[in-house]
Chain A
Amino acid sequence: MHSTPRSLPPGTRTFSRRELLALLAQGAGTLAVAPSLVSLLAQDALGQQGGATRGSGKRRLIVLWLEGGPSQLDTFDPKPGAPTAGGVSAIATDVAGWTFADSLPLLAKRAKRLAVIRSMTSREGNHSRARALVQCGYVPNPTVTFPSLGSIVAHELGDLAHDLPAFVQINGAPLSAGYLGVGASPFVLDRPEGKIENLSYAGGVDKNRLDHRGDMVEVLDDAFARRGGEPAVAANQSQRARARRLMDTKLLTAFDLEQEKEALRDSYGRNPFGQGVLLARRLLENGVQAVQVVLSGWDTHDDNRNRVQALNQQLDPAFATLLDDLDKRGMLADTLVVCMGEFGRTPEVTGSGGRNHWPNNWCVALAGGGIRGGQAYGATNQHGTEIADKPTQVADLFATLGAALRLDSTRLFHAGKRPITLIDPNGKAIQPLLA
């Protein structure tokens, strides 16, 4: 029993398995043909537009996802002295007249690189709906599953013939690629260090034996394709090929944090988030197009002040070191960094010292590729209870991100019979934020 089926976008060029085999037969005299075949297979499975150019020069993305709804008052929109301050004092940043919460000292020294929208607003105060909205840029709708930003970047900008997956997610519940298909879904690591599940050869199986087994699968798939199974066979084969490439690639060292200097690992923070952010940089360097790193625990219904402070002690060094590190390697100019969660928290502090869900006004921090740093956009009133200037919808945020990433936001897809643009057309890109 299925719901919400989708189909490939119109104009999609797919190669039948037989066409591919014919291609192979024509040009298979040399091994040099193999990579292009592999890339055709990869494109085939994802329904890529034929002839689309892929590869270098595309913007890359890192999302620092603060799961649970981070308090704006305890991070980027502090109100020291106000009844809503919640005990937080503010510190000056390196941009005149702009302050952050005192537990973000390292980011405060790098505010020149940051653009913070302080006037984000939405109507979604329920975790799962808000998460869907802020990660995908569309108001959730049960008839369509929208792709998250990372899947959009992977699908539109990623090199699908590359050995590594185009989108990697570190920590947190896996995101769906929605109508873009599972090929654009994230490769998920539930922790930044240690063995990756099912990536190494099973006990008693070496490369030769797996190849031999692969030959048997080939015989079976060939027979099934002849009996009408062809569309399914083509997709399976391409994913098996991608999985094998991932197992055997030299680029697997990208996942090895041991290769980083101890001092740098320390400055990112010796915790799963800090090390995850470091891993994100390594993956981007090695050809991954988008990485999302999740830091959970922001749903501070009690003891907000201490809990946020502890979380800031992970966020601050990781985010700040990432900016320095990307800059040093010449990657900051083409890497968009987005730091956000699903909503903000109530200005009012509850009896148990908590803050509850608050979609009315919250913050998003941006840096890097396509973004003009050193500015706050929008503002809340004196006590942070209402937006005082430039209310910004999630659709506006996504239009801005789309522009910063140089995406074709108007590209049309189909979810079932329903046409959908890559990014919600109701949003307007915020020009002052764009470099």
Chain B
Amino acid sequence: MLSLTSIAFALATPFLATDGERPSPAALAELIDRALLEQWQQQKITPVAPADDAAWLRRLSLDLCGTIPLREEAAVFLDDERGDKRLRKINEYLADRNCAQNFSYQWSNALLSAAQKQGGPEGARLRPWLEEQLAQNVSFAQIVRELLASSGRNDENGATSFVLSYTDEIEALSAVTSRTFLGVQIQCAQCHDHPTDRWKQEDFNGFTGFFLGVRDQKIGEMPPTRRLVDATPGELRIGQLRRLRDALRAAAMGGDADAADLRRRLKRGEGDHELTDEQLTAFLETLPGTQRQRLEKGIERQKTFGEARFLDGAAYVETDDRTRRQALAEWMVAAENPWFAKATVNRLWGHFFGKGLLDPVDDLTGSQDQVLPPLLDLLAQKFIQSNFDLRYLMEAMVRTRVYALGNSLDDDADRRTHAERWFAAHPLRPFTAEQVLHSLQRATALEDEKLVRAKGEEFEAARRKVLEKFRYVFNDDEGGSEDRFAASIPQALFLMNGNLTNDETKLRKSKMLDDILDEARADRERQRQVFLATLGRLPTQREAERLGRLVKGSAGGNKRGIEDLFWALLNSTEFLTNH
């Protein structure tokens, strides 16, 4: 085991360059490393040895670009002797379109939690929009502002697709907004107050109030086009009246003279002003039970969510020049907001280091498990100062020596967990559905078009369909945790017997295998190349010997043997793990 100082010495040098005017990721990385180093010393935790180049590159590629490195890329990187090669790679990946695409999946998964929505037309619009913003490194404050406050057509502005996904259930919209962007779980208070919970029902209702009045207007069917609009408070009341009018029509047809009279006045447009609460109540009394209940429910809803209220208790004043959603968005992304920056930082930390500084990542005010609160505060402060620059934050995190640590070799599960919790060893993480799909594609050189057999506009939808299947088979709707290692039978069957791992490892069917066989004549070199294509590393001597014997022993000779080896690599635990 290396000592702390030797790690610091071994890995510090390439990362100490400063970056001029821009807030310096290098400086922030240094702060992170120092904070953890201090913590380890205090607690007498010995960090594990650093990951080797191959493991580090694969991890970086998976975390930033969502897929394993290309075969040639891994080979070049391993041979590269320049001292700053890791830093070069970080910058290359951060500017890579795959990186924007990867994070667009992460965010749209978080925002549209139900698989149905992700696969639907709004998901197909939201994700590419997010990808574009991330590719341009638009300030995260601006991205969130647009997600929450945009109005208009979904075919012109993909940001509207977030709110449009929830127009008929604003309670869910409210819950997902506070959870994802603030790390505040108010939804438990939706039904009633819990004695131990800080958040009360009035908090939930007040926050949800900012979405009262969102409405969609249908524009076209194929493809489904809608417009997102906000009702004004006056319009909201008319909305209620419209429902009332339907009820009146039914009652009037049933011979109710009062109802007929009220209905005539409503029709003339007098209702909005003339219908008092007393009249309304009196009329509701006369309706049949189910009709009355439904109408009362709508009115109740307006009463429940009518008063918008900020979560920190700040007063909300309704004005004509902005919608409630616009007011909410400004409050959310303001530098003074106590949660927004922290929630984002913690979520990204969890993405790169396996667990948030606060765990779970999206429960800042309820978490019972937090390490190094001052570090989270510091990172949030820096994130705000950078004007919510995601790329700056990401670069700082992956430049750290902490990120570059290897895995724990400890047999003792408790000690291993402890080391990982204090980030003194990098955790193992099974692939997400996206990572399985994209990595299988990379490893076999399978092009998108071949996989989804669709072109142009339908491509995104077809791709989502493939992904849905993966998402089911690889069952990652649970979020990350230890027991995700309990892989499922369908997953094992898919990898063992499925078309993808079988067809794409066959000679004359697999582009990757054909390329390798064309390039390399010697069996040993061919084996090295399939290792690079799948695991991004070369076989150890022991592996080369043992597997070499098995390849030779394959029925049908060495060419069948290399097919077998390629298949086995895709079925190996290492291939399916981000480690």
Contacts and interface: CB of A to CB of B under 8 A. Distances in A.
A314 B378 CA distance: 63
A137 to B, nearest CB: 16
Contact of B350 (A2, A14, A205, A416): A2
A401 interface: no
Identify which of B348, B368, B564 gathers the most chain A CB atoms within 10 Å of its CB: B564
Contact of A228 (B407, B483, B490): B407
A183 B290 contact: no
A228 to B, nearest CB: 3
Contact of B547 (A1, A178, A183, A216): A216
Interface stretch (B317-325, B496-504, B518-526): B496-504
A107 B261 CA distance: 50
A224 B574 contact: yes
B106 interface: yes
Interface stretch (B71-79, B301-309, B356-364, B451-459): B356-364
A84 B540 CA distance: 75
Interface range on chain A: under 10, 10 to 19, 20 to 34, or 35 or more? Answer: 35 or more
B487 interface: yes
Contact of A6 (B110, B409, B483, B490): B483
A199 B497 contact: yes
B188 A246 contact: no
B83 interface: no
Contacts of A6: 478, 481-483
B556 to A, nearest CB: 9
A270 interface: no
B347 interface: yes
B88 interface: no
A174 interface: yes
A376 B554 CA distance: 66
Nearest to B480: A2
Given A1-B106, A6-B481, A220-B569, A143 B363 contact: yes
Given A212-B554, A216-B550, A240 B485 contact: no
A38 interface: no
Contact of A7 (B482, B553, B568): B482
Nearest to A183: B486
A243 B498 CA distance: 13
A300 to B, nearest CB: 16
A5 B480 contact: yes
Interface string B511-548: 00000000000000000000000000000101100110
B424 to A, nearest CB: 13
Given A126-B169, A142-B113, A188 B490 contact: yes
Contact of B413 (A14, A165, A209, A212): A14
Interface string A209-229: 110111111011101110111
Contacts of B416: 231
Given A220-B543, A229-B573, A347-B290, A141 B494 contact: no
Given A142-B179, A213-B571, A182 B428 contact: no
B494 A198 contact: yes
Interface in A324-380: 346-348, 360
A5 B356 CA distance: 10
B406 A228 contact: yes
Q: What 8 A-B pairs are tightest by C-beta distance, nearest first?
A: A228-B407, A2-B480, A216-B568, A5-B481, A243-B492, A235-B485, A202-B502, A220-B572
Interface of B: 106-107, 109-110, 113-114, 116, 169, 175-176, 179, 185, 187-188, 191, 288-291, 293, 347-348, 350-351, 355, 359-363, 368-369, 406-409, 411, 413, 416, 428, 430, 472, 475, 477-494, 496-499, 502, 506, 540, 542-543, 546-547, 550, 553-555, 564-565, 567-569, 571-574, 576-577, 579
23 contacts: A1-B109, A1-B350, A3-B179, A3-B361, A5-B359, A7-B481, A8-B482, A8-B483, A18-B411, A142-B175, A143-B188, A143-B363, A198-B493, A212-B564, A213-B564, A214-B568, A216-B547, A220-B572, A224-B574, A228-B409, A231-B485, A386-B289, A416-B481
